[in-house]
Amino acid sequence: MIDPFYRLLQRLFQQSGIPLTPKTFWRYSAWFWGGFAVISYVHYTIWELLTQGSMYYTETWHWLVKWILWWATSPVILWAANRYPISTDQGWFVLIRRIGTHLLILSLLSLGMICLEYLAVWRFYELETRKAMPPDQIIIWFFSRYSLVIAIYMLVVVGYQIIVASYRYQALQKQALQIEMTVEQLQAQLDQAQLQALKMQLNPHFLFNTHHTIIGLIVQHENKKAIAMLTALSSLLRSIVDHTDVQFVTLTEEMEFIKSYLRIQQIRFQDRLDVAIDLMPETLDCTVPQYILQPLVENAFVHGLEKIASQAQLVISASRDDDQLIMKVQDNGPGIKGEISRSGVGIQNTQRRLAQLYGEAAELNYCQTLGGGTTFIVSIPLN
């Protein structure tokens, strides 16, 4: 009885996403129809005893055959529920047509089961009661049970669709969670890749100038300055290597990197560069994105201080404003002409990093003084 429906059930459960095997289905189905059978048997027995005063054994056999047939034809009902789902998604006309299809299927199914019941019962009935059971009894059973058959059939159809919808919703939730986790992983990888790209981007231009400066110092026999620049460069590169996978550092650690960078620039500018660092004590342990200030400081040199012949001035400051950390990089260069996005790739990268890490909670702005010079202002939320 089970083998003919094995592939049908297997295909149905695969399509619907219900984690059942055919063997498990038959077990659950037996409990389902068994519950109906027990309730109906108690009801029918009480009715017969109250109205007839007794009950034939044939009627018990008939009851057993009837519910075994319901249990055996369950796959057919599930197939119909899967093939003709009842919903208004495709319009009322389709819904009415599918309800009509189900009425036809349940009518044929009911008629077939009643014919099998008749074949299984009529001979026992005649032997026990010594009365004939004419074939007309098939029609009587069919119409007397029709409303109950509709109720049971539609209960199975609707119940199956509810279970399918539930499992599909759970599957979609699981899929959405997996997608969200994948997106977060990709975002983390993207952030890390952008951080590495930032490191690679700031190195070539800076290393090129530093290399030529060191050669020039050696040619001029300025060996102490050349050694000092090489030492500062070594410290700078070691910091990059040691913090390859680090996304956030304290402001103190960030400034150590900046100071190594500035030591090299001070040797390059010789006595023409004045640097002032003003960090409020309460900001030193604040967490900041690694290398968040370096592009701003580099921008101050490339687009500002290297373009003037007078005394170059650079001021780096940090303070707290409620729950925000405010960091400023100010130079006395010629200023930025046009939009902030034209001030360099490093500034654009910094804007993107802040947006990815903090969303709208972080800002990068700039302002210019009347006498020239540019001040970049970074505002990030405190952790």
pLDDT band at 232 (very low <50, low <70, confident <90, very high): confident
pLDDT tens by residue, 301-310: 888 888 888 8
The pLDDT, as a whole number, for residue 366 is: 87
Q: How many CB atoms lie within 10 A of CB 382?
A: 14
Cα-Cα-Cα-Cα dihedral sign, residues 350, 356, 359, 361? negative
Task: Please check whether residue 206 lies inside any domain of the structure.
Answer: no
Query: 148 and 18 share a domain?
Result: yes
210 is written with which tokens? 């530093």
Stronger pLDDT, 372 or 374, i.e. the higher one: 374
Task: Please check whether residue 191 lies inside any domain of the structure.
Answer: no
Residue 376 pLDDT more than 50? yes
For residue 24, what are the domain limits? Answer: 3-175
Task: Please check whether residue 115 lies inside any domain of the structure.
Answer: yes
pLDDT band at 188 (very low <50, low <70, confident <90, very high): low
Task: Please check whether residue 198 lies inside any domain of the structure.
Answer: no
pLDDT tens by residue, 259-280: 888 888 888 887 888 999 999 9
**Please, are residues 367 and 375 in contact by the beta-carbon 8 Å criterion?**
yes
pLDDT tens by residue, 51-99: 776 667 788 888 899 999 999 999 999 999 888 888 777 778 888 888 9
pLDDT band at 343 (very low <50, low <70, confident <90, very high): low
CA distance 340 to 354: 15
CA distance 331 to 369: 10
* Domain count of the fold of the chain: 2
Task: Please check whether residue 211 lies inside any domain of the structure.
Answer: no
Stronger pLDDT, 217 or 202, i.e. the higher one: 217
Cα-Cα-Cα-Cα dihedral sign, residues 14, 16, 19, 22? negative
pTM of this structure? 0.48
Q: Is 134 left (phi over 0), alpha (psi -120 to 50) or beta?
A: beta
Please identify, among 175, 195, 212, the residue that sits at the C-terminal boundary of a domain.
175
Cα-Cα-Cα-Cα dihedral sign, residues 306, 307, 312, 315? negative
The pLDDT, as a whole number, for residue 191 is: 62
298 is written with which tokens? 């580099």
304 is written with which tokens? 């500002």
The pLDDT, as a whole number, for residue 104 is: 93
pLDDT tens by residue, 312-330: 999 999 999 888 999 999 9
Query: 40 and 123 share a domain?
Result: yes
Task: Please check whether residue 200 lies inside any domain of the structure.
Answer: no
| Backbone torsions φ then ψ of 310, nearest 5 degrees | -85, -175
- Buried b / exposed e over 233-242, threshold 16 CB at 10 Å, is bebbeebbee
Stronger pLDDT, 41 or 213, i.e. the higher one: 41
Query: 240 and 374 share a domain?
Result: yes
Query: 262 and 166 share a domain?
Result: no
pLDDT band at 284 (very low <50, low <70, confident <90, very high): very high
Q: How many CB atoms lie within 10 A of CB 16?
A: 19
The pLDDT, as a whole number, for residue 1 is: 45
CATH number of the domain to which 356 belongs: 3.30.565.10
How far is CA 112 from each of CA 3, 69, 115, 152, 310, rounded to the nearest angstrom? 20, 10, 5, 16, 104
CA distance 80 to 75: 9
Please identify, among 141, 175, 209, the residue that sits at the C-terminal boundary of a domain.
175
Residue 18 pLDDT more than 80? yes
pLDDT band at 240 (very low <50, low <70, confident <90, very high): low
Give the residue carrying structure tokens 């201080």.
305
Task: Please check whether residue 264 lies inside any domain of the structure.
Answer: yes
pLDDT band at 341 (very low <50, low <70, confident <90, very high): very low
Please identify, among 110, 141, 175, the residue that sits at the C-terminal boundary of a domain.
175
Residue 340 pLDDT more than 70? no
Query: 288 and 367 share a domain?
Result: yes
Q: How many CB atoms lie within 10 A of CB 32?
A: 16
Mean pLDDT of all residues in the chain?
A: 82
Query: 128 and 233 share a domain?
Result: no
200 is written with which tokens? 């690679």
**Please, are residues 361 and 381 in contact by the beta-carbon 8 Å criterion?**
yes
The pLDDT, as a whole number, for residue 2 is: 46
Residue 30 pLDDT more than 60? yes
pLDDT tens by residue, 129-164: 888 888 889 999 999 889 989 999 999 998 888 888
Stronger pLDDT, 80 or 232, i.e. the higher one: 80
Query: 265 and 372 share a domain?
Result: yes
Query: 245 and 166 share a domain?
Result: no
Residue 379 pLDDT more than 90? yes
